[in-house]
Structure 1
């Protein structure tokens, strides 16, 4: 058998169609079957604002192309991508950057009534629901996808199974795993020493790192300063893990991908970077891969009662819909165990005195916490 290109399954469609949810289910099923699979949500690698119109797909394609060798280095044999795309020209932005991958573009389709229901159920930007419906109707007249799969009335597992069936039993034939020493060498961004500020938001499980980090990012770019935001949990989805090196390998992968994504953002003129990190992330190891980074680590803190409330809310579907949220759908006992673990994490971080700043979040809104982060970090003077 000749050379087999690694397969990429691209789930596209309008907002609310289930791109990320179905994509994650495909990723999770393959992982459980022992197929080492990577997952990327395209939204998560293009959070750089404000940007000129018409460059989003170029940025996403560039960043995805920079990340893929890092996934390969850790043994990835296929890639699931979730993200909108409207035209064949936009698709070619990606295929040109990743010629060694075999693309299958799958458009998810949902009837207007159900799409409205799904969109509104998310509880995020209900004012955009009619835009999503209009987008779906426009996509019905497009021809950029290799296949279109109607998912109305299906559960997420049913939709994922149907997508793979319609895509010819995706992923089909797979290439051999790439030896670690033979991949990823070209993925490291070029060195540079021009300083730029990095605001790293960390803390215990469910303390609100992503929500606060994104609010900080939004406040900065709304002033006209071109800023970038990365949630490191969203750039290291690769399963299954193999051995006791899994945690170290995952952190190395995320650090490499952070450097790759930042290189793309910086090429677009980003002047600063906001990062949301997990409690066990080796922050300095990440920053060492960002030449010129002036790092400020801001640790969010919450008491046991607040953490329990936030863990429970996420478990019941509250908060932003993040692909692969490990708390969503857990039973009451599992949520209680998670809340106790989060409280222990917060206590340990307090004992260690982790971070340059400690920001209390009990009884405060996201907006209040974000404003406090910006004020106490002295972030604004760095950007003038």
Structure 2
């Protein structure tokens, strides 16, 4: 990237993932290619005791901003920064002080066993290895980074090559030594489809999952399929819902959302494929909620009495006990059939779990910006 904006590639991730080693290798590769590149380890510009009350990130951002014009005067055409960050608010603090930086945040990750090995291989504070693994698990549930690169099983050299390609910084420099990058290969937007039999808790769990995403700083959206497919006479069909979902999702994407939580029936693979074809820019994962007959009967009765989320068109509200009993029996039969068929990409058992716990289990199985296989 040439002109007024100077590329800033920020490599972040848990302790022991290899941020500093990889950052040095990335900057060295760019330098060997003729791109004058600066490298900054964020830890090395915040070694101050006592820290200011405003915290580590405020000090680091201030110091990096103070160094920035010096890098420019020295002819830097790119800056690589390695250091921990875990929220969009922290990133915004740097961006505010570096208005002429073209910032790309790249989160590094590895599988837990390899992270332990790397952490212990440093020979420093082995007693903190469990904390590093827990930190990594927490980061896997976030979506603040522009891209996430899994370096499991890769050498530092291979990891650097992958990061440069994903960040769009692998292009040859121009005659002036400026980078002429391609567009970063951003992680695809995630679509989590929360499905299951009647009364499995799709809408309640879906909305809670959406709420947890928002609280963690992930730009997200939520859609209940029933609420975008109402058509009378009849109840609408999957083609109508799929088309409306694609239309609404395009609007959410334009507004900056990176994850969509959808609740609704996903009874057949053919149905899911129909939606996936209309969401080509998204990585779709179907999460099937399961509940046993007793739990389903309890939830059906609750909804029949007006409990649960107040959604227009709830077909269970106001039914008599006999009708609710029949609905519960059908729901139990449907749940058993879905279990036999192995429906969905991920199965979450909801018996005995609060709705908050169900949402947490969803994100353990389907991190918002992971490289797990999806449709």
Task: Give TM-score, length-normalised by structure 1.
Answer: 0.46
Whichever of the two has the greater Rg, that structure is 2
